[in-house]
Each structure stands twice: as C-alpha cells, then as structure tokens.
Structure 1
C-alpha cells in the first residue's frame, strides 16, 4: 500500500487532485480536493493515501491526515458503503457530527448522504457505534488558504464546487436547491463545497 504521496500540486478538478513527484503525476481521488488548493507553485504537500483495488478498479484515495484515512477505512467496512459513499460522508467536513449521529442512532441525519438509505444507515450504526470515538477527534479536514492554480473565469470556483458535489453523488435537484444560496457568496471552491454540504445536511 502507498502510505502517502509527497509532491507539488499540479492540477485540481472535480473529485481529483494530481500530485507531481519526480516527473510522475499521481491521480488521487479526494472527498474535497480543493482543500489542497493553498500551496505555492513549488511548495510540496503530503497526501495520505488509500489504494482501492477491485476487479478492474485501481484507484488512490487521498486524505489530509492519517486519522481521516482511518475513518474512511472504517466506513468501507460497512456493507453498502463503497469509496464514493465514504467520500461523500467525509466531504461534510465535520466527522464529529457523523460520529455523533452514529452514536445517537440518528438515521434521519445519516440518510441525507447520497447513497445512504435506511438500511445502510442502520448498518452503519450496528457496525460502527462505539468504534469511532477515538478516531474523529483527531481528524483534520479544514480547508487551506486559497491560491488558485489555474486562471479562473468569473464564477469558476462555484462551477468547480458544483462539479465536485456531482462527483460525490449529489443529484441535480439537490444542487439546484443550494445553488441560489451559493451564488450570493464570494468563496473559494473549497468553501463553496463545505457551505453547500452544510445546507444539504441541515
């Protein structure tokens, strides 16, 4: 397993980040890749990774910390949750809220995530209740200061954020509901994603 990739942020788009290391670009899937958008052009960053291999799929998933990756791995142990579903849950930016919902058996909150129905929510509670309290408190998923890597057109950050939400599994109806609120703000792509998720999960 690749423990981490250290290198220069080359490109960010949708649900992926490309890290260049010694002339090789590593394509890494992230719940919110825009949190890595604060580095200077020649500054190196560390992305902790999880390699997911299944049949014809071989992908690297990236995280800001080992603890965030550990939470991702715990979520993958739940029947009905794959990497995409686990990423959507992590993208909320508040692992403590997720853990609290599991500990309090709050199925209504858990089913707000794309791909999580009542059956999966119940399975999350059965499988994970009491097992995550030592994980979430050290998870860091806060955004970094924004320094755009590519020249953006007006509204580009918002469009990038909406693309990321689509990649996480949120439907057109949900995105249309929050878009008018987002259009009133002047935020970075990372902040747009987190703000949208806050509205979706309330």
Structure 2
C-alpha cells in the first residue's frame, strides 16, 4: 500500500520488490501508473530495468498490466528473459497465461530483449555468487528472517568484505547471520 498524504493506493509489486520488503518499514520503489478504461493501477518495481521490461511486456498484443505484473510476480526478470531467448514457453507457466499467449510473448519480445536487456543476468539455475545468495536467503528465511532482511544482510556482508574475498555458501551464511544478529 502506497501512502500519499494519507491517501492509500494499492501497488501491484514484482517478485524482486516483494523480496526486498520488510513489514512495517518504509521503502522506495520505481512505480508506473497505468490509466485505462478499467481504472487506475499502480505497479511497483525494484529497479528501472524491471519497469522498462514491464513496459516492453505491455507492448505485446493481449498482454495488459495485470498479466505482465503477474508474470513478474511469479518469475524474476532473468527467468523471463531466458525463456524468451530460448523460446521455452513452459518456463513462462504462471496463472492466467496460456500457451498461445506465452508463445506470442516469446515471439514479440525476443528481438527487443536481445538489444535492450542483454546485460540482465539469466534466471536459469545459477552457479557462483547468485546461487550462494539464493542458498543463504533460503537458509535465513528458514530461521524466520524476511527476504528483505536477508537481501540487506547479504549486501552488507559483501560490502564490508574485501574485494578479493571468494565467498562460499557457508562463509556468506555466517557473515549474513552475524549481521542479522547485531540488529
């Protein structure tokens, strides 16, 4: 819920924005207000890249704001880009998105994302640091910490470490847990 001078506006968030949220805490996000015959809809994003990708999804015929945000709520942008690049319709399986519409998304977005989103990390099963982050987030979430707290702790641990540190799952977990225990 977005509070604008006491007026509450519901924001439809992406997966990344939800992961960074902490209940009861203020946060900043990139937003897009869609005005249509159906009314107003506010969409929230963790980054401008996410918003730009959302706007590209809206350019696909038969894809509206609610379907685009549903896709981005279930799948991170890297997974969607990987699915589109490979034409893997089954990777785009989310409620409300059928096979034909998923095929259309792949067909219409492929030329655009190869140009605009070439630098976005793949959402495919990761190796290295990305998988360590995921492992640590899962482990800390199992201990009762929110995804937002986990993400901040991981980022803080990495920021406090020397640039030449080679992280392992265990070392990143211990450093992040240490930061969370200090709070």
Deviations 1:33-65 (A, max 9, x none): 6435327x5x64222111111113111111111
2:19 counterpart (5, 29, 35): 35
SS at match of 2:9: strand
1:130 counterpart (103, 111, 121): 111
**Match of residue 25 from structure 1:** 8
Deviations 1:6-33 (A, max 9, x none): xxxxxxxxxxxx2334444333222346
1:98 counterpart (53, 62, 80): 80
For 1:105-144, what aligned pairs fall within 5 Å after superposition? 105-110=87-92, 112-133=93-114, 134-135=116-117, 137=120
Runs of 4+ in 1 over 4 A off after TM superposition: 185-191
For residues 71 and 145 of structure 2, what CA distance do their matches in structure 1 show?
21
Q: Which has the larger radius of gyration?
A: 2
**TM-score, normalised relative to structure 2:** 0.57
For residues 38 and 87 of structure 2, what CA distance do their matches in structure 1 show?
35
Tell me which of the two structures has the higher relative contact order, counting C-alpha pairs closer than 8 angstroms and 6 or more residues apart: 1
Compute the RMSD of aligned alpha carbons: 3.3
**TM-score, normalised relative to structure 1:** 0.52
**Match of residue 40 from structure 2:** 58
Aligned 8 A contact 1:34 1:189 in 2 = no
Offset of 1:108 from its aligned partner? 2.1
Q: 1:138 to 1:104 in 2, by over 3 A?
A: closer
Q: Which of the two has greater strand per residue?
A: 1
**Match of residue 78 from structure 1:** 60
Q: Which of the two has greater helix per residue?
A: 2
Residue ranges of structure 2 left out of the alignment (5+ in a row): 123-132, 135-141, 149-183
Residue ranges of structure 1 left out of the alignment (5+ in a row): 1-17, 144-184, 192-202
Q: 1:21 to 1:36 in 2, by over 3 A?
A: farther
